[in-house]
Structure 1
Amino acid sequence: MMSNSYLSHNTIVSAYGFDSANAIHQISNEVSGLQLTEDPTILPQPFFSSRVSGEALEEKYDLLNPQERHTRLEKMLLVSLSKTISASNMELTDRVGLLISTTKGNIDVLEQKSPFPEERAYLSALGATIQRHFGFQNQAIVLSNACVSGVLAIAVAKRYISEGRFDHVFVVGGDLVTQFILSGFNAFQALSDTPCRPYCKTRSGINIGEVAASVLVTNDTSNLVAESVKVLGEASCNDANHISGPSRTGEGLFRSATNALHQAHLQADEIDYISAHGTATLFNDEMEAIAFNRAGLQETPLNSLKGYFGHTLGASGLLETIIGMHSLHQNTLFASKGFQELGVSRPLNIIERTTKKPIKTFLKTASGFGGCNTAAIFQKVGD
């Protein structure tokens, strides 16, 4: 018999602070975490980004009494996951799994100033480090599938639980603002020199952000929090369109969304809002508009959270799912920061102002390099 999966305890480490409540409070007030950053060691010109306070991170990290040295990303992941595990009061038995989602992991250790050996950049080393610190009995599983990694990790956790492999899975994800990441997007001429404006006619590109986020996925309804949600359906599709360019027809995202709806036994008009990928690049936003129209979701209220956090790569889907959990709990549609005038060829119902409204379900989508796409549908638990 397959078990249901629920998302419960959660922690966001971001420019807003070191818990989910701080982030939700700032988003509710439409306060962006993006700031003009001047750091010529990682990019010659000033750029907008959202970054975790280094000094505050060290203070939180020191409280963990670490027995070995850790990279900046590892510190962020440890601080986030430590709080989630502690709040859940979960014993880490062999029925508890660990999934880590990231796009580039410890990529910064490959920079000349790093005191860590190059081997620390291996994703397997990252997984082993997090597993060892907390004493998980099962080997950490690292999911690195471009920018869908965070949503995909939740989907994989749900599948492990439904198959009976685990009863509970901790999912933690993170990525950094680094020289490698910024130089890559700059080479694409995709970086914006202003705060990003997803789906807006005046948008000019992407901002990069960094976060660590964690959540407990569980089949135990007795260990849920107020903002808990049930995973109704999920699906992934790779349309293999291009190494970096999204499909012109939105094929992969369309199939992911419609397959997730089918698994959830829902129609498009039963989705209360969409937490979309929305990177504020011309091709991504256009592709999403086409896919959502093909799926009959053009009238569903939709936001992108990139105007608050920037694009946090492999952590973005996990981060934005946690925001969605709180959105359902508060019966609040959060504004898509920066949006002014629709700048895609198909109609979309962009949330322009933070609005109170009874909501029960949401669709989270993500798309990434290589043609990968993932969608997941969540439902509020209780009233």
Structure 2
Amino acid sequence: MMKDIYITDYNCVTPLGFDVQSNWHALLEGKSGVALHKIIENHDAFYASMVDTQSLEKEFNSVFNGFHHDSSDFTRLEKMFLLSLKPLTERHNITEETAFILSTTKGNISLLKNQNTLPEGVYLSDLAKKIADFFGFKTKPIVISNACVSGVMAIAVAKNMILAGRYNDAFIVAGDEISEFVISGFNSFQAIGTDPCKPYDKDRNGINLGEATAAVYITSGLYQNEKFRFKVSGDSAINDANHISGPSRTGDGLFASIRNAMTEAKVSAEEIDFISAHGTATLYNDEMESIAFNRMGLQHIPLNSMKGYYGHCLGASGLLESIISMESSIHGTLIPSKNFKEVGISQPLNIITENRPAEIRYILKTASGFGGCNAAVVLEKT
């Protein structure tokens, strides 16, 4: 008999707060972490969503005071990972059958600045092992690094490895930080917007970068003291091999990912209650998504993008946005797609424009990224 796999706990560290509760309250009030920042000398300021370093240091020192480590032992990103993951490890046992999965696109890429040799910790495998060893994980860490679908794919990998009998449960932590490398990369594509981003809006002109970490606990074993549980009912990841950076004009990969995930979950388009879309606010991504959602008959389902609140957090986006989606379900509230005013896509979508109550049982979370990668998961509140 096939086991059911559930998300039963989560946490996050973002520019809007260092736990889920503070993030949720900020979102209800319409607050955004996106603001003007200047982190590269001799370059113009740009809109991004960044964690305040001083607040991060204070929180880290408060939480980890008394541990046998010095604050200087960890990079800024590693501190965010540790803060995200620590509450979950305190509430759930780590055994010899517990997986540890790290999702990131660039990891400690900032360590390469002004270096002639590769510093320790720049390899993603080394980063994952450092975090795993800190908490005492007994299994070899798994790294998911597949552009901007990494966070969603990590949920799928955990689910399928537990189903295959490799593990009993899993901790996932996902994260990326804004660095000069990331900024210059997106600048080379002329993809960074000159204003706060406006997903799906006719005046959108590009993304805002963001940074965050997020963590979830996934298990097949349920207990009485859980505050919530969301079944990972279906998942899929399809690469349409369209272009090194540009999304498919026909939405083939995203369409196939959604179709496969919904087929596995045994849900129809009419049963989906809410879509947490990728919504980067680039012309081609938003258009591609509108086409894919319409091909699946999902154009009437309430939909939002969280990029107006958090920016594009790369490897953390999919996991963070899944967490916020589950919070929406728990609180029975749909959060608007920030900065959206007038439709700027060719296909109709039911874009949420204000806080409103809703019963949310089935969530569709999607993501798309460079290299033609696409992913989708269906989460069911039980």
TM bucket (normalised to shorter chain) is: over 0.9
Distance in 1, matches of 2:87 and 2:294, equals: 40
Does residue 1:52 correspond to 2:51, yes or no?
yes
Displacement, 1:116?
A: 10
Gaps of 5+ in 1: none
What are the residue-to-residue correspondences of 1:1-383 with 2, within 5 Å? 1-41=1-41, 44-62=43-61, 63-64=63-64, 65-67=67-69, 69-86=73-90, 88=91, 90-112=92-114, 118-222=119-223, 225-381=226-382
Check the 8 A contact 1:8/1:223 in 2, yes or no.
no
TM-superposed CA distance for 1:33, in Å, is 1.1
Return the alpha-carbon distance in structure 1 between the equivalents of residues 253 and 112 of structure 2.
33
Give the distance between the partners of 1:74 and 1:178, measured in 2 at CA: 14
Amino acid at match of 1:184: G
**Structure 2 vs 1, CA of residues 324 and 219 (structure 1 numbering), >3 Å: closer, same or farther?**
same
Aligned-partner residue type, residue 87 of structure 2: K
* Structure 2 unmatched runs, 5+: none
Following the alignment from structure 2 to structure 1, what is the Cα–Cα distance between the partners of residues 198 and 320? 19
**Partners in 2 of 1:116 and 1:28 — Cα distance?**
46
Distance 1:115 1:126, change over 3 A: farther
Alpha-carbon separation, structure 1, partners of 2:126 and 2:55: 25
Q: Which whole-Å CA distance do the structure 1 matches of 2:120 and 2:89 have between them? A: 28
In 1, Cα distance between equivalents of 2:376 and 2:34: 26
1: CA distance between counterparts of 2:247 and 2:118?
35
Q: CA deviation at 1:162?
A: 1.1
Relative to the length of structure 2, the TM-score reads 0.96
Q: CA deviation at 1:28?
A: 1.3
Shift of 1:92: 1.2
Q: What's the offset of the Cα at 1:223?
A: 6.0
Q: What is the percentage of aligned positions where both structures have the same residue?
A: 49
Distance in 2 of aligned mates of 1:176 and 1:264? 33
Residues 98, 139 of structure 1: 8 Å contact kept: yes
- Asked if structure 1 preserves the Cα contact closer than 8 Å seen for 2:175 and 2:315, the reply is yes
- How far residue 186 of structure 1 moved from its aligned partner, in angstroms, is 1.1
- How big is the shift at 1:354? 1.2
SS in 1 for 2:121: helix
The offset of 1:115, in angstroms, is: 12
Q: Cα deviation per residue 1:74-102 (whole Å; 9 max; x = unaligned)?
A: 1110111012211x2x2211111100000
AA aligned to 1:38 is K
Which deviates further from its counterpart, 141-150 or 47-56? 47-56
Q: Is the 8 A contact 1:5 1:219 kept in 2?
A: yes
Q: How far apart, in 1, do the equivalents of 2:254 and 2:39 lie? A: 36
* TM-aligned CA distance change 1:174 to 1:349, over 3 Å: same
Local SS of the residue matching 1:298: coil
Structure 2: distance between partners of 1:122 and 1:247? 31
The whole-number CA distance in structure 2 between the counterparts of 1:116 and 1:6 is: 43
